[in-house]
Homo-oligomer: A and B are copies of this chain.
């Protein structure tokens, strides 16, 4: 790899001049020199050493994409289609800005924090961050960052977040069920925090509004403490007769449940209606195709990147919170009762 200095020597000019033509500051360079330099660059395939540049400029051109994982939940995080799509969307937007993505996937937030400092990343996009980690992050890293799908009470600290209307979405789809005559509805999720909690609230909003009573039993907790999924599915199966509809906190579970139930002789939506949340590929692939609420993950990633760069450039980035709209998409997993 040829360097600026070498080129300067070869042409018997200064590094500044070379640097200037490299950066298109050609206002102050004679066209003869420009030409000479350009030729050399071409001939020797000059590419700048980014480390040196970053060191000198005290920037990095790197955007960190950090995902906090859950060791007992994922063996391979990006396998999750959600994470994959988000990664892809973020990558392409960041690349379009001439920056690079460094991927941090870890269940140890301080590992992420150290890497970020070490690499002097210019900005950070965070996904899957819970309260304590958010606090730590906020305290230890002084770079622009935007959270995705984060639900930390904003009383604790200010942060910019891009998420979706989790609560409203779940409210809408539950209302949809109710409008089809359903009155005995259960909510199924694997936790009761963050977005899933919001969705749960939306569920309750809808049934409360419809005058349907809610009992703790109607929250079916999936996979508490890593118990075997098929055991839980068996339990779900047992409870089919108590309800006319299930609202699942995610398509992932909805699809698993549909398949399990079908395999065990229950007809959907005849015996029970099922709806999901996310509108991912799976929801289109199951049969009956899943009625669910749609969210646009690529848009989410795009907006997160947009905001991050506004922060980096110290422009106005608008509200701290942005909640992207969602909507119900009707397919075939709900019947009128």
A142 to B296, CA, bound (A): 41
Partner of A55, one of B52, B140, B282: B52
Chain A 44-83, CB within 8 Å of chain B: the 1/0 string?
0101111110110000100000000000000111111101
Within 8 A of B (CB), among A69-119: 75-81, 83-85, 87-89, 91-92, 95, 100-103, 105-106, 114-115, 117-119
A47-B105 contact in complex given A78-B87, A85-B78, A89-B76, C-beta closer than 8 Å: no
A2 to B81, CA, bound (A): 40
* CB-nearest residue of chain B to A80: B84
- Min C-beta distance of A125 to chain B, whole Å: 13
A105 near B88: Cβ-Cβ < 8 Å: yes
A294 to B190, CA, bound (A): 29
- Min C-beta distance of A21 to chain B, whole Å: 18
Neighbouring B residues of A51 by C-beta, 8 Å: 51-52, 54-55, 60, 119-120
Neighbouring B residues of A48 by C-beta, 8 Å: 118
A87 to B105, CA, bound (A): 11
Neighbouring B residues of A95 by C-beta, 8 Å: 105-106
Residue A184 interfacial (CB < 8 Å): no
Residue A1 interfacial (CB < 8 Å): yes
Partner of A77, one of B52, B88, B103, B105: B88
A243 to B29, CA, bound (A): 72
Residue A223 interfacial (CB < 8 Å): no
Neighbouring B residues of A281 by C-beta, 8 Å: 79, 282
Name the prevailing secondary structure of the A interface residues: helix
Neighbouring B residues of A87 by C-beta, 8 Å: 78, 84, 87, 103
Within 8 A of B (CB), among A18-40: none
A100 near B119: Cβ-Cβ < 8 Å: yes
- Min C-beta distance of A41 to chain B, whole Å: 12
Residue A287 interfacial (CB < 8 Å): yes
A103 near B101: Cβ-Cβ < 8 Å: yes
Neighbouring B residues of A79 by C-beta, 8 Å: 81, 84-85, 88, 281
Partner of A287, one of B80, B117, B287: B287
Partner of A78, one of B78, B263, B287: B78
- Min C-beta distance of A153 to chain B, whole Å: 27
Q: Which 9 residue pairs of A and B lie closest in terms of their CB atoms, listed nearest first?
A: A84-B84, A78-B88, A76-B88, A47-B117, A78-B84, A51-B55, A51-B54, A50-B118, A79-B85
Given A76-B89, A91-B103, A259-B285, 19 other A-B contacts at CB below 8 A? A47-B117, A49-B118, A50-B119, A52-B55, A76-B298, A78-B87, A79-B81, A79-B84, A79-B88, A81-B84, A83-B84, A87-B87, A92-B105, A100-B103, A101-B102, A102-B102, A103-B103, A263-B287, A285-B286
Question: What is A's interface to B at a CB cutoff of 8 Å?
Answer: 1, 45, 47-52, 54-55, 60, 75-81, 83-85, 87-89, 91-92, 95, 100-103, 105-106, 114-115, 117-120, 140, 255, 259, 262-263, 281-282, 285-287, 298
